Amino acid sequence: MTLEGGTPMPTALSLLDLAPISAGHTARDSFESSVALARAAESAGYQRVWYAEHHNMATIASSATSVVIGYVAAHTESIRLGAGGIMLPNHSPLVIAEQFGTLETLFPGRIDLGLGRAPGSDQVTMRALRRDHMSAESFPQDVQELQGYLSGKSLVPGVQAVPRAEQPVPLYILGSSLFGAQLAAQLGLPYAFASHFSPEALHQAVKIYRETFVASEQLAEPYVIAGVNVVAAEDHDEAVEQMKAAYRARTRAFITRGSVGQNFTDAEIDAFLASPNGRQLASMTKYTAVGTPDEVRDYLTNFAAECQADELITAHHAQSVEDRIRSITLTGAAFKKDAAFTTDAAFKEPATTA
């Protein structure tokens, strides 16, 4: 990825915290771990940390996403924090505008709002959320209604979001298909692709987004964030073992749903992932950087160039908090040596037209 004349295009490095509740630990432990991860990312020069909205998942603590963001913001100093993302059809746009207007008022210049249209859970939970199965159809209109509240240009006469921060919270469209790319381009918003778990349409989606982008009040030029998995350690073999352990645990969580107490050996998990039924699950983590800091840096640099990403949001998958922090720190340190990447406070947000 280069600018005219062959100069490397600066790329920002960010963090996606999946807020896992590890076996033998509590949700409170997960929140404290999220603070530790955010502090590590802040020290290492990462641009932002995002948390995703999930529901009815016993191993994920970020269901009340805006509350988690506020807690971590109160325990960090400068790093941007946000939702990656809020599943907008689960909510009233007015309520989300009030929540994120409050966050931006409390922590000015530090809050992001990424928006998706999936339920963030299963069909039964979707009904428990009082979400209609057709609610995703109004996602484009809901994004615009939300944008109106945040900017003080409400599309609903007589209704405003209070509090409203002095500067509008920047919106990002999240997606794993072509729909999100087309919508982000049409609305002139940054686009984040979930390639860390849904890699298939990445390159086509980015192509469509960049080719059809229309400048907006928020954004003058296209801006792409791509998700990628990372396991970094001082030793290559150690990183590989951490990756295998993490992905085996992830696979167990998928295949033991409804089979409480079922325990599979590592050999059985590996055999499943190599089988026709398991290959699709294995392919979800196609984009994974694993190894020493230099190996991870080289992989991510090439990945950013190939998918034309302005920013990489990294999901670090080591099972222990200590190993995840180490992976974050080592990756950040490796990129501080790379002129093609920007991992310091001088990095500027996407160029706006304001």
Q: What is the pLDDT of residues 147-198, one digit of tens each?
A: 999 999 999 999 999 999 999 999 999 999 999 999 999 999 999 999 999 9
- Helix locations, 107-235, DSSP H: 123-128, 139-151, 178-187, 202-212
Beta bridge partners of 316: 230
Query: In angstroms, how far is the first alpha carbon of the chain from the final one?
Result: 27
Q: What is the pLDDT of residue 342?
A: 59
Question: Which residue type is seen at 44?
Answer: A
Residue 68: CB atoms within 10 Å = 23
Whether 171 contacts 146, CB under 8 Å: yes
Furthest CA-CA distance within the chain:
62
The residues of the chain scoring below 50 in pLDDT are: 1-9, 258-261, 344-348, 354
In this prediction, residue 340 carries a pLDDT of 58
**Alpha carbons 270 and 263: distance in angstroms, whole number:** 14
Q: What is the pTM of this model?
A: 0.91
Handedness of CA 104, 108, 111, 113 (dihedral sign): positive
pLDDT in tens, 2-50: 433 333 445 899 999 999 998 889 999 999 999 999 999 999 999 999 9
14 residue type, one letter: S
